Structure 1
Amino acid sequence: MSDWFKLQIVSGMSGSGKTIALHTLEDMGYYCIDNLPISLLVSVADHLINEPEAIFRKTAVGIDARSQSSQLSTLPDMVEDIRNSGLDCKMLFLDTKAETLIKRFSETRRKHPLTNEQRSLAEAIRYERELLAPVIEAADLRIDTTHTNLHELRDLVRHRIGGEEGKVSILFESFGFKHGLPRDVDFVFDARCLPNPYWQEELRAYNGMQAPVADYLSAHQEVTSMLSDMIDFLARWIPAFEADGRSYLTIAVGCTGGQHRSVFLVERLSQHFAEAGLHVMSRHREL
């Protein structure tokens, strides 16, 4: 019976959106438990395996830095033991850059759980990242919420975790190199060598999802050649990742500003692989 049951662990930095992720999973039919002590994780898994009940068929637990540091370091081994027992167990980690977390806590006037009279907010965030380092390394899926609002995070959780069983979930993401590389991606393609619509004054106000830019880029052989090469490469290697048991794959395409070339290519890649029957989502970080 355990192979019909799923345990989803949700962890992440304080202020990164863990509560939103758990609420989204609850809306998806998961039985959710927030702030579970790590010492009880094995007991929850044992219950799902040995006393399976329909209400717990999909269970999600929230684990964060409020657990003792000694327990956090043992979490990866616990998860591996749970998987070896036959239970489908995945771990999601939500990450956010420190400066964004400081801004969020300042705006909401919430107290970071690790601050005290001796530890400032910035120091608490650094300390929390140190505590969660073993969890970050062991996570199956990491989502960077630095540039993500509430609605986008809900969509990401729904699409990435709610995909078809046995199929790898693929996220195609466009970005601008001048704003920094996205974190936690598997492949990065650089489109800065392609003709740039930005230098066409009549196209500057449009983005790569709109017809004027799409028509301009489609008319250039370099663009269609790069797109064809990217499709061939990914078509060759996505099945290999899927066969290796990977559940998530993130593919980023960048140009200078993340408005035109990368957006166009991500749209075309998403369309191609969705039509091929893969579980696909697209995201444009700079739009």
Structure 2
Amino acid sequence: MTEDESIPSPSLPLLAISGMSGAGRSTALKALEDLGYEVVDNLPLALVDTLITAAPGVESGAARPFAFGIDSRTRGFDAALLVERLRTLRDSGHDIRLVYLDCSDDQLVRRFSETRRRHPLAIDRPVADGIARERELTAPLRRWADLVFDTSDLSVSDLRRRIAEQLGQSAESRLTISLASFGFANGLPRNADLVFDMRFLANPHWDAALRPLTGEDPRVVAHIEADPAYSPALDRIVDLLVTLIPGYIREGKAYLAIAIGCTGGRHRSVAVARALQQRLADAGHGALLSHRDLNRAGSDAAGLAAAPDATTTDTH
């Protein structure tokens, strides 16, 4: 950083970017730089306070929002101490948020294997040892993070899009709400704040004409909406969310991740998530929408050699 470059004033958003090696931290920082953030990577822990609090006065609009990367490779890394410093900065009036990049252990091992890179904490040991050690070291950061990106199933372009959607916003944004459909058969979303289970609804999987379709098809939507339980359940979920959201805003929560699940993540959860997005928009709460398992083949199909009658609702 040169003397002519402006360090952001406390009124601008400050992002601390950390996480597991191989989870996409460098990609996230590059995406933020493209969004207009001033980015510093591998910031020594001892310089965090100095860089943020020693900023000279800047004219309105002259400075950019600021993001810095820090992880287990950083000199003097201490996750608990970093959390304490970030808390102190926030208590003193800085709009500072911690973003954590996470990924499943299996996917991390695969990434290090494919790139033929050594894990920074396991130079002469198996990659899995380094991952386990780093997960232990960074556990306080993940617990305290305002936003966790699980990149296990994300491509580089997917992660850049998520960064743009959730962090490429003005400092005045109060709460970023994301809705994601998913399939329980493929595991719970790792960063969900609220999870709603849609497996009680009539299942399009047992209609041969609807099975190949998804919850984005009007015929599937009509089938699900015809279930007598659909409208009352949707009304109650919307009422609950509309009640909770103002409280989250008052408490200073920056991100709210809502997950809508069915078994396979292709029919009921997709249709309900889209309906919830519209209902929340009508209530004045815009929400980002994504479908994690929409294009994934039903993982439990092989176990359904003898299909039950059409009233069964425990699949897809």
The TM tier, using the shorter chain, reads over 0.9
Q: Does 1:142 align with 2:152?
A: no
Q: Could you say which residue in structure 1 is the equivalent of 2:274?
A: 267
Q: Does 1:210 align with 2:220?
A: no
> Using a 3 Å threshold, how does the CA distance of structure 1 residues 279 and 11 change in structure 2: closer, same or farther?
farther
* Bigger Cα Rg: 2
Task: Letter of the 1:265 partner, please give it.
Answer: V
Q: CA deviation at 1:260?
A: 0.5
Q: Does 1:101 align with 2:108?
A: yes
Q: Could you say what secondary structure the match of 1:73 adopts?
A: helix
Task: Letter of the 1:243 partner, please give it.
Answer: R
Q: Could you say which residue in structure 2 is the equivalent of 1:78?
A: 85
Q: Distance in 2 between matches of 1:244 and 1:175?
A: 28
- Counterpart among 2, 11, 30 of residue 4 in structure 1: 11
Q: Could you say what secondary structure the match of 2:211 adopts?
A: coil
- The residue correspondences of 1:107-118 to structure 2 (distance < 5 A) are 107-117=114-124
Q: Distance in 1 between matches of 2:77 and 2:22?
A: 22
Q: Could you say what secondary structure the match of 2:214 adopts?
A: coil
Q: Could you say which residue in structure 1 is the equivalent of 2:162?
A: 156
Q: Could you say which residue in structure 2 is the equivalent of 1:57?
A: 64
Give the % identical residues. Answer: 40
Q: Distance in 1 between matches of 2:43 and 2:278?
A: 40
- Counterpart among 169, 181, 193 of residue 188 in structure 2: 181
Task: Letter of the 1:204 partner, please give it.
Answer: R
- Counterpart among 231, 234, 243 of residue 227 in structure 1: 234
Q: Does 1:122 align with 2:128?
A: yes
Q: Does 1:192 align with 2:192?
A: no
Task: Letter of the 2:15 partner, please give it.
Answer: Q
| CA deviations over 1:36-72 (Å, ceiling 9, x no partner) | 1111111111133x44475643010011110257632
Q: Distance in 1 between matches of 2:45 and 2:282?
A: 42
Which has the higher mean CA deviation after the structures are superposed, 13-22 or 272-281? Answer: 272-281
Which has the higher mean CA deviation after the structures are superposed, 276-285 or 86-95? Answer: 276-285
Which protein has the bigger helix share?
1
Do the aligned residues in 2 keep the contact of 1:69 with 1:131 (CA within 8 Å)?
Answer: no
Q: CA deviation at 1:175?
A: 1.0
Q: Could you say what secondary structure the match of 1:239 adopts?
A: helix
* TM-score normalized with structure 2 length: 0.85
Q: CA deviation at 1:223?
A: 1.6
Do the aligned residues in 2 keep the contact of 1:38 with 1:72 (CA within 8 Å)?
Answer: no
Q: Distance in 2 between matches of 1:276 and 1:47?
A: 42
Gaps of 5+ in 1: none
Q: Distance in 1 between matches of 2:249 and 2:38?
A: 27
Q: Distance in 1 between matches of 2:25 and 2:288?
A: 21
Query: How much is the aligned-residue C-alpha RMSD, in angstroms?
Result: 1.8
Q: CA deviation at 1:166?
A: 4.0
| CA deviations over 1:68-90 (Å, ceiling 9, x no partner) | 57632201110011112222101
Q: Distance in 1 between matches of 2:144 and 2:151?
A: 18
Q: Distance in 2 between matches of 1:158 and 1:276?
A: 24
Q: Could you say which residue in structure 1 is the equivalent of 2:43?
A: 36
Do the aligned residues in 1 keep the contact of 2:43 with 2:70 (CA within 8 Å)?
Answer: yes
| CA deviations over 1:231-258 (Å, ceiling 9, x no partner) | 1110111111111111111111111111
